[in-house]
Amino acid sequence: MEKRVYYFGEGASEGQGLGKDLLGGKGSGLAEMTALGIPVPPGFTITTAVCREFFDAGDRLPEGLEGELFASLERVGAAVGAVFGDPSRPLLVSVRSGARASMPGMMDTVLNLGLNDVTVEGLSARTQNPRFAWDAYRRFLTMYANVVLGRGREPFEEALQHARLKAGVRHDHEVPAEALRALVEGYKKLLGESFPQDPRAQLLGAVGAVFRSWHNDRARVYRKMNGIPDAWGTACTVQAMVFGNLGDTSATGVAFTRDSNTGERRLNGEYLPNAQGEDVVAGIRTGHKLTTRDALASYTEDSLEARMPEAFARFSEVAAKLEAHFRDMQDLEFTIQDGRLWLLQTRSAKRTMRAAVRAAVEMVREGLLTRDEALLRVEAGRLPELFLPRLDEAEAKSAEAKGLLLGKGLGASMGYACGAVVFTADEAEREAAQGRDVLLVRRETSPEDIHGMHAARGILTATGGLTSHAAVVARGMGKCCVAGCSAISVDYRREVLRVTTPEGAREFKKGDVLTLDGTTGRVFLGRLKASAAVSDAHLDEVLAWADDKRRLGVRANADTPLDARNARRFGAEGIGLCRTEHMFFEADRIAAVREMILADDTPSRQRALDKILPMQREDFVGIFNEMKGLPITIRLLDPPLHEFLPEAEGDLVSLAKELGVSLEVVKVRNEALREFNPMLGHRGCRLGLVYPEIYATQARAIAEAVVLCARGGADPRPEVMIPLVAAEEELRRLRALVVETMDGVFAREGVRVPYLVGTMLELPRACLVADRIAAHAEFFSFGTNDLTQTTWGLSRDDAGRFLPFYVDQKVLPADPFATLDADGVGALMKLGVERGRGARPGLKVGICGEHGGDPASVGFCHGLGLDYVSCSPFRVPTARLAAAQAALRG
């Protein structure tokens, strides 16, 4: 039979090296510390395997566990010179949870276990501190009642409050022993028979309760949010109590080996003299700073360094030893009992991204880590946090407490935004033009709203998922967005935002100010303040190391000169996707675009295109000039034409007027362009084939811009990309059209600039026949957004109805729009690469879907042997780091 209980203490550490999977984070940390000779109260850990056995058996402790458990308990008693349940030398223990992944505060703990009516007297006599003994008993009863027996804390808190009042004191630690004894009597009456006087029964009850707390609501939610499997279970550690509340030479505290906010190397934390650990965690009393340097000037004398210099020196030593051992920033819990230091916990410290980056860089300088190790330590996916202003958490908490939290949607695009509510893109633009901060609030957004999204500080939608139009575009813009906030509904007619709360519905009007938190999806009423974002030299250093290591190129998706400038700033080595349709929406050209769409025949279409040509040329000139010498993949027109037409009756009327045709004509044409499944409709190269004059005009604009820029010395490097190809013949014809047009311009102008023509692989069929398509393509770029949609038969815009349910209920391990689905979409990509390069060795292959900025997906692309990934500008650092990590992992 497998060993279920692992002892640690007095230098013996049965669990050393067995790791967190079996012993949980806490158990594993204690085993390691013990083995390192660091002072740890002796104890033992019951494995996570036992927890799973417990659940499998219908919440019963497995046969045979008791024997192992009490044998280890005897060893603990022997080590500290006490006996569990012994009236004269009672051993008290703590019973704590500890999972593989840290879930701070989510599960339950029982302290001071082993006390009963007899042992409390023994404790009192032995410590010569009746107040301490009765206080411990009082605490134990409260915790036992709550954790093991499932009782509410309120009657216990009330009785305690009553005792304080009666004693005429303000704080718990001022309540005298006699009053505590009376309080205990009261508590016991509350519990009656349900509280076992037998310490062994207490212990078995507490172990079961700790296991069960794996399934409490908080823990479930936390796991869901952090992707921790329900199946893991928790370990349970039973450990001899040490007391920080034995008087002024005792204390308890928490500490970080480095600053968890900035990453600065300085031991910091809080402690409380004469207190138990829960007092610090619960925040009942205000802690003092650990070090002199750390404290505010006026409170320097209260620091641990000042008050207990020896214990502090010992602690500093231990902290340094632990950091060196684990080679990472540690989060420590300690207790000082009668001047003697005990470590209760060590774990990797949670930290902000800024801290993570700085710590990584400095640990390399300190020789603690190699560069490669440091690169692997930084979570690439969290890098964008560095570039976005974030909501101040203290502010958010206080707002929530005041009832200002209106609802929660999906944190679709990070950052934070506050502004006045507007309901239309035009309004957003108007208000923004007058210098006002606005939030664009829509049921959902469409490409028509782009200008409003640009103008707004943030976007809030009632429907749509993480890959809805609003979410994708907002991320591309690096703009804050909360999507799919089901608590809200928008009444465009009445211009009212309706919020459903448990207390009923509230309505907000245009101009009301909200704050959005794009990280967590929270929506607040009123203007909340942000914590500022600053530039970061440590990050530059990490990214420079990453660039040395990575094999994958990193480009950015950028549609405008401004985007392009951003992209270069973030280190992009080119543009992997420049969507020309976004240019079509600019205010100065949408009229010509609409004229083109509503044209009845080729000549009128060409006339409208002739108006668009010089504007497109200017767009390209701007981008080429920004990206001097770097490749730019320009995608020819992709979306269905009706996306460019207005929807509202009023807009149709003015469009008709503008174009000098009847409203009827505009309406009929608008209706004729409407599609059942626009995603699968007349778009991409299908437009280029049916209306070759559109692509020809775009190709001409590109070539003419190339000529202008080449003459200006900007070294333009265009790569023309034909979208939505499914069959080789589509590409063959359109490639010929593009080449004929561009070469024609070059011949006319007497300038010859090399360029590539390639295609976007975004349909399953294209991947399957990639060998034939490659015959006409000088490059491939995987459009994994659409490839995911078609491979899965899953519309991004509609997935909100069931995809969250799927991820929630674990039908799928992850949202395939967020993380590339290696088994399905990835299998098609693999075919595409193999077949494409099989037919055309050395074919350049990249990816330009949203996945290009997701670390796991970047890793997958590295494995596939792609040449580059392309992503939103502000995700470029993520991609650079993730590419390096993939290279390091091999």
The residues assigned a catalytic role are: 469, 848
Residue appearing with tokens 């919020």:
499
Give dist(CA 101, CA 481) in Å, integer: 30
Any contact of residue 797 with a copy of itself (CB under 8 A)?
yes
Q: Taking contact as CB under 8 A, which single stretch among the options 501-509, 622-630, 825-833, 838-846 is the one that binds a copy of itself?
A: 825-833
Q: Which CB sits closer to a copy of itself, 358 or 579? A: 579
- Tell me how far, at minimum, the Cβ of 52 lies from a copy of itself, in Å: 21
C-alpha span between 32 and 26 (Å, rounded): 10
- 768 binds a copy of itself per the rule CB under 8 A: yes
How far apart, in whole angstroms, are the C-alpha atoms of residue 707 and residue 698?
Answer: 14
Rule CB under 8 A: say whether 821 interacts with a copy of itself: yes
Residues 667-696 that bind a copy of itself (CB under 8 A): 675-682, 686, 689-690
Our finding on whether 789 is near a copy of itself (CB under 8 A) is yes
Q: Strands 330-337 and 268-273, how do they pair?
A: unpaired
Confirm or reject binding of residue 190 to a copy of itself (CB under 8 A): no
Q: Shortest distance, CB of residue 832 to a copy of itself, whole angstroms?
A: 12
Q: How many CA atoms lie within 13 Å of 59's alpha carbon, on the beta-carbon side?
A: 11
Q: Which is nearer to a copy of itself, 761 or 882 (CB)?
A: 761
Per CB under 8 A, the segment of 105-113, 190-198, 325-333, 786-794 that binds a copy of itself is 786-794
Closer residue to a copy of itself (CB): 208 or 723: 723
811 binds a copy of itself (CB under 8 A): yes
Separation CA 627–CA 632 (nearest Å): 8
Q: In what order do the strands lie in the sheet with 513-517?
A: 405-408, 522-525, 513-517, 416-422, 438-442, 458-461, 480-483, 410-413
Q: Does 75 bind a copy of itself (CB under 8 A)?
A: no
Stretch that binds a copy of itself, among 36-44, 102-110, 331-339, 805-813 (CB under 8 A): 805-813
Residue 626 near residue 710, CB atoms below 8 Å: no
* Sole binder of a copy of itself in the list 650, 793, 841, 890 (CB under 8 A): 793
Selected binder of a copy of itself within 259, 595, 786, 867 (CB under 8 A):
786
Give the Cα separation of 849 and 830 in Å (integer): 16
Tokens of 798: 């509609």
All residues at 6 or more sequence positions from 643 whose CB lies less than 8 Å from its CB, including other chains: 446, 447, 448, 581, 678
Q: How far is the CB of 813 from a copy of itself (least distance, A)?
A: 9
Q: Does 806 bind a copy of itself (CB under 8 A)?
A: yes
Token match 């300088």: residue? 365
- Distance of closest approach, residue 304 Cβ to a copy of itself, in angstroms: 52
Smallest distance, a copy of itself to C-beta of residue 795, A: 4
For residue 342, the SS3 value is strand
Part of the chain binding a copy of itself (CB under 8 A), chosen from 272-280, 426-434, 514-522, 804-812: 804-812
Single out the residue of 164, 173, 565, 765 in contact with a copy of itself (rule: CB under 8 A): 765
- DSSP string over 657-709: HHHTS-HHHHHHHHHHH--SSGGGSS-THHHHHH-HHHHHHHHHHHHHHHHHH
Q: How many Cβ atoms sit within 10 Å of the Cβ of residue 823? A: 9
Give the DSSP H/E element, type plus range, for residue 124: helix 119-127
827 binds a copy of itself (CB under 8 A): yes
Beta carbons of 457 and 401 less than 8 angstroms apart: no
Residue 116 carries which DSSP code? -
Neighbour tally for 828: CB within 10 Å: 24
Whose tokens are 């079996």? That residue is 22
| Count of residues near a copy of itself by CB under 8 A | 47
User: Residues in the chain, how many?
Assistant: 890
Is residue 487 within the footprint of a copy of itself (CB under 8 A)? no
Min dist. Cβ of residue 4 to a copy of itself (A): 32
Which residues inside 203-262 make contact with a copy of itself, applying CB under 8 A? none
Q: Which of these segments, 223-231, 288-296, 421-429, 788-796, binds a copy of itself (CB under 8 A)?
A: 788-796
**H or E element in which residue 859 lies:** helix 855-864
- Closer by beta carbon to a copy of itself, 294 or else 762: 762
Considering the complex, state which of residue 342 and residue 691 has its C-beta at the smaller distance from a copy of itself.
Answer: 691
Contact 425, 452 (CB under 8 A): yes
The structure tokens listed for 397 are 């908490």
Give whole-number Cα distances, 721 to 318, 470, 544, in Å.
60, 25, 30
Q: Does 502 bind a copy of itself (CB under 8 A)?
A: no
Distance between start and end Cα atoms, the chain:
38
Q: What mask, x for binding a copy of itself by CB under 8 A, covers residues 724 to 763? A: x-xx-xx--x----------------------------xx
Which residues of the shown chain bind a copy of itself in the complex (CB under 8 A)?
675-682, 686, 689-690, 724, 726-727, 729-730, 733, 762-765, 768-769, 786, 789-795, 797-798, 801-802, 805-806, 809-812, 821, 823-825, 827-828
